[in-house]
Structure 1
Amino acid sequence: MTTRNSTAEPAPLGVAVVGAGYWGPNLIRNFRGSPAWDLVAVCDLDTERASAVVGARSGVLVTDDLAEVLGRDDVHAVAIATPARSHRPIAEAALAAGKHVLVEKPLADSVAAGEAMVEAARAAGLVLMADHTFCYTPVVRKIRELVTTGQLGEILFVDSVRINLGLVQPDVDVFWDLAPHDLSVLDHILPDGLRPLGVSAQGADPIGAGKPCVGYLSLPLTGGALAHVHVNWLSPTKIRQMVIGGSERTLVWDDLNPQQRLSVFDRGVDLVQQTVDSADRRTASISYRLGDTWAPALPEREALAEMVAEFAAAIHEDRPPATDGAAGLRVLAVLEAAATSLRANGAQVQVAAPAPTLELIR
């Protein structure tokens, strides 16, 4: 294991990207641009597509043979950007070959598969990281700071909307396609991670696609707070917005407003007095706060560049990354509970906790 010291930076790590379809080219570009990494190989069943992504004059190996990639001594890590159903077999093969593993969201196609991946990484002493990209954006890092330092006060509610027109995925519904983004952000910013008291899900398929294309998740949180996530493939208007209401302040994250992605409102409602009258009815006196609104200054950094740097740092420092396998499992547990709730016509169901032996310290 290469370690950091005060006199020299560690040598770049060799990485192979498996999958050159939708997300793979983004990973390829960022690994290439990172001083912490040396892109050694790209593996895809469509080698023509992979070669086009890599470039004609590149010295990067392009192959459709995963075993060839895993057999190379100069490959220290593997980044997986393939359909979720293939994540477990590829990850387990890479871990068995002694390679650290990065997996695009979601971590796997089931909690059981994710738990097997986490256990394989733990047993091998290797890093398993979930590519929860939004957690590495400057705006989400600022939101996490505002929450953890108590500047919002006690969290009262979260409303998240992620809607747009398409793409209707062939292998997953709208929950598994879009909700992992919002769920991973919640897991990253909430002090105890994503541990809802239950999940209720409502979904609709108005176009006859054979799967929910419009969906709503309700997640009651500890302390009486409620998180709500709306995902939709059918909206002609694209919206990427999250509102986090606190007892002291409320913030609004509008990801489609580059001039002011984050706004903090010093406004809210206070319960001044609560009494019980003769008929045993509770009455409350409400006070409204109308204060300033401010927009924190945010640096302009690409989230994927920060993510691949964190992957390298976790390997060099022999520690769990910020979005480790346990974070991926917490998101998977909510997605599976949502599927169970859908089958039960929206009834609230409990979220199965990952196996205790697999829980990592946050």
Structure 2
Amino acid sequence: MSRARGRLGVAVVGAGYWGPNLIRNFRASEDWDLVAVCDLDTERAQRVLGERSGVAVTDSLAEVLAREDVDAVAIATPARTHHDIAARALRAGKHVVVEKPLADSGDHGRAMVDFAAEQGLVLMADHTYCYTPAVIKIRELIESGQLGEILFIDSVRINLGLVQPDVDVFWDLAPHDLSILDYILPGGLRPVGVSAQGADPLGAGKSCVGYLMMPLEGGAMAHVHVNWLSPTKIRQMVIGGSQRTLVWDDLNPQQRLSVYDRGVDLVQQSVDQVDRRAATVSYRLGDTWAPALPETEAIGGMVAEFASSIRTGRPSRTDGRAGLRVLSVLEAAGRSLAAQGVLVDAGASAVDRQAVS
């Protein structure tokens, strides 16, 4: 029946924290028919849908995967379960979208990507921020060269948040920032290395405050600060370019993006016959402007992209390899933490090799 109307049938697995957002957007989409919701707590799932909903509710994943009207599965469960659920869905011939992070380890993520490719199915990461008007505009400004050469990126994501029982602050919050960097940087996020510093002032047994430093090719530096313990909430990214600097304040709906025609210019001067050089610093002070942004819901864009990728067979904007690049940085951060913050290899070359194979 879904195909007869030109729509794809989807089941959402998980009706907890993120599942209701997926449910609402799949129900509102012209591309999809939401045919089932699967959750161990069926009463919770029914409350999310509403008592008069015609969408099936079940606690059996096998029941969902056996349905012929389910073309795709959206997974909104804890990261440790992503690999098993995705593998079962792919074996059943279903396309899969998975909330961040793609998996709980690089090995599991690579197995998911490889198996989806073998089956000819779409595997997509729900990197929601990559579908926001602000991030789409940031990528456009970088691609068009309006910022010039990227010199630095400084991202802050802090708030008084819930200390997670199974992951540290890096795995909980940093995937947002890393997926954004992967989307806006030409060629994706492939840092030269990763250095991580974490602190556990609560004695929770895991980092509750974290700092990631990632040198990029060409001498640029990306820095991500994540924190569960801040009494103030900040969602801000500063991207410094050789021509202009962009500031994204996600908590300012009136002006999320500001572009500053300000910066530092270095004028090289030859100082002697040996051609040694000295740099004279000059400061450029120009105008500030705010790009106009449409008001659209990011998850709506994500579910539309999922449908388009299935129908056309092209990789999605946030495909499985994008998820692997994020995982490679998270795992590198763990190795760096264990080595007292030393710079470690990001493992991006392994993702690149897989992309070529």
**1:339 alignment counterpart:** 334
Deviations 1:261-282 (A, max 9, x none): 0000000000012445699986
In the alignment, the residues of structure 2 paired with residue 277 and residue 115 of structure 1 have an alpha-carbon distance, to the nearest angstrom, of 55
In the alignment, the residues of structure 1 paired with residue 88 and residue 6 of structure 2 have an alpha-carbon distance, to the nearest angstrom, of 25
- Correspondence 1:76-115 to 2 at 5 A: 76-115=71-110
In the alignment, the residues of structure 1 paired with residue 330 and residue 241 of structure 2 have an alpha-carbon distance, to the nearest angstrom, of 26
**1:53 alignment counterpart:** 48
The Cα of 1:166 is off from its aligned counterpart by 1.1
Deviations 1:120-171 (A, max 9, x none): 1000000000000000000000000000111100000000000000111111
**2:211 alignment counterpart:** 216
What TM-score, normalized to structure 2? 0.96
Decide which of 62, 65, 70 is 2:60's aligned counterpart: 65
The one-letter code sitting in structure 2 at the alignment partner of 1:244 is I
Decide which of 223, 229, 233 is 2:224's aligned counterpart: 229
**1:165 alignment counterpart:** 160
**2:315 alignment counterpart:** 320
1:85·1:108 contact (CA, 8 Å) conserved in 2?
Answer: yes
2:140 counterpart of 1:145:
yes
Deviations 1:235-263 (A, max 9, x none): 00000000000000000000000000000
In the alignment, the residues of structure 2 paired with residue 313 and residue 360 of structure 1 have an alpha-carbon distance, to the nearest angstrom, of 23
150 and 355 in structure 1: CA distance in 2 versus 1, 3 angstrom threshold: closer
What TM-score, normalized to structure 1? 0.95
**2:176 alignment counterpart:** 181
33 and 212 in structure 1: CA distance in 2 versus 1, 3 angstrom threshold: same
Decide which of 326, 342, 354 is 1:358's aligned counterpart: 354
Identity of aligned residues (%): 75
69 and 115 in structure 1: CA distance in 2 versus 1, 3 angstrom threshold: same
In the alignment, the residues of structure 2 paired with residue 347 and residue 226 of structure 1 have an alpha-carbon distance, to the nearest angstrom, of 16
2:324·2:351 contact (CA, 8 Å) conserved in 1?
Answer: no
**2:248 alignment counterpart:** 253
The DSSP-based 3-state class of the residue aligned with 2:218 is: helix
**1:306 alignment counterpart:** 301
The Cα of 1:351 is off from its aligned counterpart by 1.0
2:321·2:351 contact (CA, 8 Å) conserved in 1?
Answer: no
The Cα of 1:51 is off from its aligned counterpart by 0.9
The DSSP-based 3-state class of the residue aligned with 2:130 is: helix
1:163·1:238 contact (CA, 8 Å) conserved in 2?
Answer: yes
Deviations 1:221-243 (A, max 9, x none): 00000000000000000000000
In the alignment, the residues of structure 1 paired with residue 107 and residue 159 of structure 2 have an alpha-carbon distance, to the nearest angstrom, of 31
In the alignment, the residues of structure 1 paired with residue 66 and residue 5 of structure 2 have an alpha-carbon distance, to the nearest angstrom, of 23
Decide which of 177, 192, 200 is 1:197's aligned counterpart: 192
1:269·1:287 contact (CA, 8 Å) conserved in 2?
Answer: yes
**2:20 alignment counterpart:** 25
The one-letter code sitting in structure 2 at the alignment partner of 1:48 is E
The one-letter code sitting in structure 2 at the alignment partner of 1:60 is V
- Correspondence 1:270-285 to 2 at 5 A: 270-276=265-271, 283-285=278-280
In the alignment, the residues of structure 2 paired with residue 336 and residue 116 of structure 1 have an alpha-carbon distance, to the nearest angstrom, of 16
Uncovered stretches (5+) of structure 1, i.e. residues with no partner:
4-8
The Cα of 1:283 is off from its aligned counterpart by 3.1
The one-letter code sitting in structure 2 at the alignment partner of 1:75 is V
In the alignment, the residues of structure 2 paired with residue 154 and residue 239 of structure 1 have an alpha-carbon distance, to the nearest angstrom, of 26
The one-letter code sitting in structure 2 at the alignment partner of 1:201 is A
**2:30 alignment counterpart:** 35
The DSSP-based 3-state class of the residue aligned with 1:222 is: coil
The DSSP-based 3-state class of the residue aligned with 1:29 is: helix
Deviations 1:290-329 (A, max 9, x none): 0000000000000000000000010011111000000000
The DSSP-based 3-state class of the residue aligned with 2:222 is: strand
1:326·1:360 contact (CA, 8 Å) conserved in 2?
Answer: no
User: Over the residues paired in the alignment, what is the CA RMSD in angstroms?
Assistant: 1.8
